[in-house]
Structure 1
Amino acid sequence: ENCWIKANPNLDITVSRKDMHRMCKKAIESPSAQNNFLVKKLNIWTTQKVKWINLTKWDACKERIDEVDLVGKLCYGGIDLSSNTDITANVMVFPMESGRFAVVPRFWIPAENARERENRDGVPYTSWAKAGYIKMTEGNVIDYDIVMADIMADCEKFGIDSIAFDRWQFEAIRQRLVNEGVPEDKMISFGQGFASMSAPMNELEKLYLSEKLIHNDNPVLNWMASNVAARMDPAGNIKPDKEKSTEKIDGIVSLIMALGLAITTGPKKPSIYEDRGIISI
């Protein structure tokens, strides 16, 4: 704090010390806020990308989720389809009456590629698959028949309002989902740039820092949470990124997209005028 004056000559004049304390506290909790605070308030240059999720806070959000309790419940999906040889993710977000959001993820990966990467990168795909956290499809390319069948099973099981997707690669299953009865207007193209990603990414950060996010401690999603970085543009907008190609973040990208639908198209609170009408004075 004694050094703040060096980067803020107007501290206690036009720059509030109270605001500095508030931003400093947030920077301690949030890696992305830390980067912003260092650059804009302390004039300390940092790399443009910074690890985004505070894993201690993320771990505090783990809670047992029984999918039986979610049958028929309103939810929003986010699908990040991979190339033919990579991880595909579908993450569903369930708004709860308590104001919290429950997260249910699904992951798929080609079995041959998983074993190769396990040996090369030390990522325990086989153990995760045996425990049911990720599904391996036979061969060295993703089996979209299995992916589509699993998505359709979830559509029948849960009250999926809409599904967000990155338009890249989605054509591989879009028409097939339509043919199976998923309304085309329920599949929402979701941009991957700063303009589309920043708001739901910031919302996700608020939710997990305040423990209003519930996840079931899926180790695949946890691993992706540890990999995701925030790339920031000059205006302070952020989008998800990663430092290395081996650090997968598909599940977090899917979660951000699903949350984007939940906060923009979710049920609105009824106006008081619907109940009482307009009072004339």
Structure 2
Amino acid sequence: MSYKLAADEVTVTTKYIKEQVQQAINNPSDEVGVKTKTLNLWCDSSNVWLPDEYILRATKKINLEDFKDSTCYIGVDLGATSDLTAVSFLVIDEDKYYFKTHYYLPESALREKADKELYKYWKQQGYLTVTSGNVTDYDYITNDIMKYSELLNIRAVGYDKYNATQWAIDATEKGLPLEEYSQSLGNFNKPTREMERLILSGKAVIDNNEINRFCFRNVTLKSDHNGNVKPNKQVDKKKIDGTIAMIQALGCYLEVPKFTNELIII
């Protein structure tokens, strides 16, 4: 199969198409681009980013106490005033990337939110921390992170500045190394693709928390004309906070100059 694009006889060959299809098979984040640009197919946005089997394969119980004094990168996806907040800790050890994510919710959400029964179940199972009051308790979350600063060497705490100005000020005053990390497409492209690579290659280890799997199931990929991608909600009200926080933590790590993570021998 080939067709003429211009007078200079530039063509799209069968070999090229097969290579592009294989690329999409190996890299799910490229699937939409290959379908639309190479195969001229309409893509249904309901396609899940990574099938459940990959996340289950990467799932394992993680205890941060096992990584005492290790360097750690944190991603924080702050919820709105009465919504879910995710804080993800990333520790890299022996070529494995360990993601431990904590979830927080104000108690009013157990009465008022559409997913209140699910939230109650998660709380009962110990997957979710519910704080008192009807708004997100940012101080509680900050203090939780501070406790881990005594266990781990926190290198950076990545956060999106939207709705987080006061929290960022307070957390910085307490000594946390905050790094503004925009959730724009261009900024999220690299860590999103790297997260995919780590999961598919078996190098990512994701804590055995049911909310993590729930978040991944709700993720599709949003892309632009340059091929940049980032997680997007499959359905507007579904939660992907944990996935976003993990990618922010990974993004913070990727922004650190490589030589600072390695022992330099002269």
Q: Output one character per residue of 1:154-174: Cα deviation in whole Å (capped at 9) or x when no partner.
A: 222211101110001222322
In structure 1, which of residues 230, 233, 258 is the aligned counterpart of residue 224 of structure 2? 233
- Unaligned runs of 5+ residues in structure 1 are 276-281
- Unaligned runs of 5+ residues in structure 2 are 5-9
Structure 2 partner of 1:110 = 106
1:203 aligns with 2:194: yes
Q: Output one character per residue of 1:53-100: Cα deviation in whole Å (capped at 9) or x when no partner.
A: 222112111122222211221110111111111011111111122x22
1:249 aligns with 2:240: yes
CA distance, structure 2, for counterparts of residue 266 and residue 96 of structure 1: 18
1:170 aligns with 2:161: no
The Cα shift of 1:123 comes to 5.6
| 2:49 and 2:221 in contact (8 A); partners too | yes
Structure 2 partner of 1:158 = 152
Matched to 1:236, the amino acid is: G
Q: Percent identity?
A: 27
Say which SS state the counterpart of residue 199 (structure 2) adopts: helix
Q: Output one character per residue of 1:166-218: Cα deviation in whole Å (capped at 9) or x when no partner.
A: 00122232222233232xxx211111111111111111111111111001221
1:135 aligns with 2:129: yes
| 1:30 and 1:54 in contact (8 A); partners too | no
Q: In the comparison of the two structures, how many residue pairs are matched?
A: 260
**TM-score, normalized by length of structure 1?**
0.83
CA distance, structure 1, for counterparts of residue 36 and residue 116 of structure 2: 35
| 1:32 and 1:50 in contact (8 A); partners too | no
Say which SS state the counterpart of residue 225 (structure 2) adopts: coil
| 1:108 and 1:136 in contact (8 A); partners too | yes
> CA separation of 1:206/1:17 partners in 2, compared to 1, >3 Å: closer, same or farther?
farther
> CA separation of 1:25/1:54 partners in 2, compared to 1, >3 Å: closer, same or farther?
farther
1:81 aligns with 2:78: yes
> CA separation of 1:144/1:259 partners in 2, compared to 1, >3 Å: closer, same or farther?
same
**TM-score, normalized by length of structure 2?**
0.88
